[in-house]
């Protein structure tokens, strides 16, 4: 049995765990990251693509600005297509902001490289990670690697292990409250080495279902179509995907859509989920471990980032100034922002998807709401302000 100690034990090396590890390290706080998967597996996951200003700022604070500032694309607007037309939300004019297009894969790679360069302790393929004892003054983590048992004694644990990880389950049922909505559809995503159909992101509402045109670079496109929850990737050969996408886009876009072989295809279910509280004793949940949003508002990764902003500040105040106030406020402060992002993501999802049981009345409500958004400066400003990200 090998035993180690650290100040902060971090479970999970997604963006939450890596960002926290890097920010703590830069502030002289010792930490160890335990990750169930291999490094290659974590790097292979294609997920988010849109970074809010707060996340961009945290990447800079974490010392990983260089490649993001060079390769990331700043977008000052995005569009919503419906009724064969395309309507732009000007983020700069309405909300004085912008978003950065930079893939989660790149964020992860940059942070992993920075942890390696800084001599970070990251354990990949850590099996059976569990929180063995959780007290008011510390915690013991247990795990196995290459057939050997390990213990990690921690002053604090950061549960950054995503929706399916063990951290949230370490909070007793008598304490934890969960709020959940599972949507009756999924997203089929496709990545292709083709020029994006539009120079900004386009969300499309169509009676056949929602579609999304996004990108990773000037030559790499990311598209999604709303699909059935029963669908498998095998049900969506490339030809079917492209044909369906084309049908859901306005003519101005479908006429110029460049198609090509897929590099990656995956199906994601859509869920809204919040766990309260986000702290129990010395365990702090961050990112998808504590909350999930449907991807329609591009908020998941960005919410993970705001949690890490609050959590890293709280650990720094504790270790540098023996001040526990921010740790004590952590859950409440995160949740205020989490619920507002949940609201926006839920609203965007309901506005743009075709519900399987949709009644004509609900259709008309969606039409009226879209018409209202694009005829009211106040509504469009509210959309823009949420899309660029509410302040921390």
Structure tokens at 301: 């990764």
Among ligand PHB, ligand RFL, none, the one that 342 touches (CB under a kind-dependent 5 to 8 A) is none
Contact assessment for residue 267 and residue 186, using Cβ atoms and an 8 Å cutoff: yes
Cβ-proximal residue to ligand PHB, closest one: 49
Tell me the window of 46-54, 172-180, 356-364, 378-386 that interacts with ligand PHB (CB under 6 A).
46-54
Cβ proximity to ligand RFL: between 181 and 361 the closer is: 181
CA 109, distance to chain mean position in Å, is 16
Euclidean distance between CA atoms 186 and 190, whole angstroms: 13
Cβ proximity to ligand RFL: between 104 and 194 the closer is: 104
Write down the least CB distance from residue 221 to ligand PHB, Å: 9
Cβ proximity to ligand PHB: between 298 and 335 the closer is: 298
222 lies in the site for ligand PHB, by CB under 6 A: yes
* Maximum alpha-carbon separation in the chain: 66
214 lies in the site for ligand PHB, by CB under 6 A: yes
Structure tokens at 363: 């259709």
Cβ proximity to ligand RFL: between 189 and 209 the closer is: 189
Contact assessment for residue 353 and residue 269, using Cβ atoms and an 8 Å cutoff: no
Cβ proximity to ligand RFL: between 305 and 327 the closer is: 305
Contact code string over 275-314 relative to ligand PHB, x by CB under 6 A = --------------------xx-x----------------
Torsion sign over Cα 38, 40, 44, 48: positive
Cβ proximity to ligand PHB: between 333 and 386 the closer is: 386
Catalytically annotated residues: 75, 203, 295, 299, 387
Among ligand PHB, ligand RFL, none, the one that 262 touches (CB under a kind-dependent 5 to 8 A) is none
Among ligand RFL, ligand PHB, none, the one that 296 touches (CB under a kind-dependent 5 to 8 A) is ligand PHB
Structure tokens at 94: 């309405």
Contact assessment for residue 280 and residue 153, using Cβ atoms and an 8 Å cutoff: no
Write down the least CB distance from residue 294 to ligand PHB, Å: 9
Structure tokens at 27: 């502030």
Write down the least CB distance from residue 187 to ligand RFL, Å: 6
Given the rule CB under 6 A, which residues bind ligand RFL?
11-17, 34-37, 42, 47-50, 104, 126, 129, 160-162, 164-166, 187, 189, 268, 287-288, 295, 298-302, 304
Please state the φ and ψ torsions of residue 153, each to the nearest 5 degrees: -85, 125
Write down the least CB distance from residue 47 to ligand RFL, Å: 3
Enclosing H/E stretch for 274: strand 262-276
Half-sphere exposure of 275 (CA within 13 A, CB side): 26
Torsion from C-alpha of 268, 272, 276, 280, nearest 10 degrees? 10
Number of residues that bind ligand PHB (CB under 6 A): 10
- Residues whose CB falls within 8 Å of the CB of residue 335, separated by 6 or more in sequence, listed in order: 274, 276, 277, 278
CA 311, distance to chain mean position in Å, is 17
State the residues that interact with ligand PHB by CB under 6 A.
Answer: 48-50, 201, 212, 214, 222, 295-296, 298
């Amino acid at each position: 049995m090998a035993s180690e100690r650290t100040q902060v034990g971090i479970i999970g090396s997604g963006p939450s765990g890596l960002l926290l590890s890097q920010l703590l390290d830069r502030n002289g706080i010792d930490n160890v990251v335990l990750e169930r998967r291999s490094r290659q597996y974590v790097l292979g996951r294609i997920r988010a693509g849109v970074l809010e200003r707060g996340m961009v700022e945290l990447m800079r604070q974490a010392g990983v600005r260089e490649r993001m500032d060079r390769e990331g694309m700043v977008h000052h607007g995005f569009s919503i297509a419906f009724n064969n037309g395309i309507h732009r939300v000007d983020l700069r004019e309405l909300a004085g902001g912008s978003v950065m297009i930079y893939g989660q894969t790149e964020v992860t790679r940059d942070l992993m490289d920075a942890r390696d360069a800084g001599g970070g302790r990251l354990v990949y393929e850590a099996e059976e990670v569990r929180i063995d004892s959780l007290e008011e003054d510390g915690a013991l983590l247990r795990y196995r690697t290459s057939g050997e048992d390990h213990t990690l004694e921690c002053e604090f644990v950061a549960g950054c292990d995503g929706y399916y990880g063990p951290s949230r389950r370490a909070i007793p049922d008598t304490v934890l409250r969960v709020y959940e909505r599972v949507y009756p559809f999924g997203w089929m995503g496709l990545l292709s080495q083709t020029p994006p159909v539009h120079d900004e992101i386009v969300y499309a509402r169509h009676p056949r279902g929602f579609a999304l045109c996004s990108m990773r670079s000037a030559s790499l496109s990311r598209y999604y179509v709303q699909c059935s929850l029963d669908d498998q990737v095998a049900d969506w050969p490339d030809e079917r995907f492209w044909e369906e996408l084309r049908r859901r886009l306005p003519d101005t876009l479908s006429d110029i859509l460049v198609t090509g072989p897929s590099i990656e295809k995956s199906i994601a279910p859509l869920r809204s989920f919040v766990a309260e509280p986000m702290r129990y004793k010395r365990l702090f949940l961050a990112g998808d471990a504590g909350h999930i949003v449907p991807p329609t508002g591009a908020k998941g990764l960005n919410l993970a980032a705001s949690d890490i902003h609050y959590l890293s500040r709280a650990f720094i105040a504790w270790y540098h100034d023996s001040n526990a106030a921010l740790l004590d406020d952590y859950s409440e402060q995160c949740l205020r922002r989490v619920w507002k992002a949940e609201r926006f993501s839920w609203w965007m999802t309901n506005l743009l998807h075709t519900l399987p049981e949709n009644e004509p009345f609900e259709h008309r409500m969606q039409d009226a709401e879209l018409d209202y958004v694009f005829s009211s400066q106040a509504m469009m400003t509210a959309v823009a302000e949420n899309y660029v990200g509410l302040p921390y």
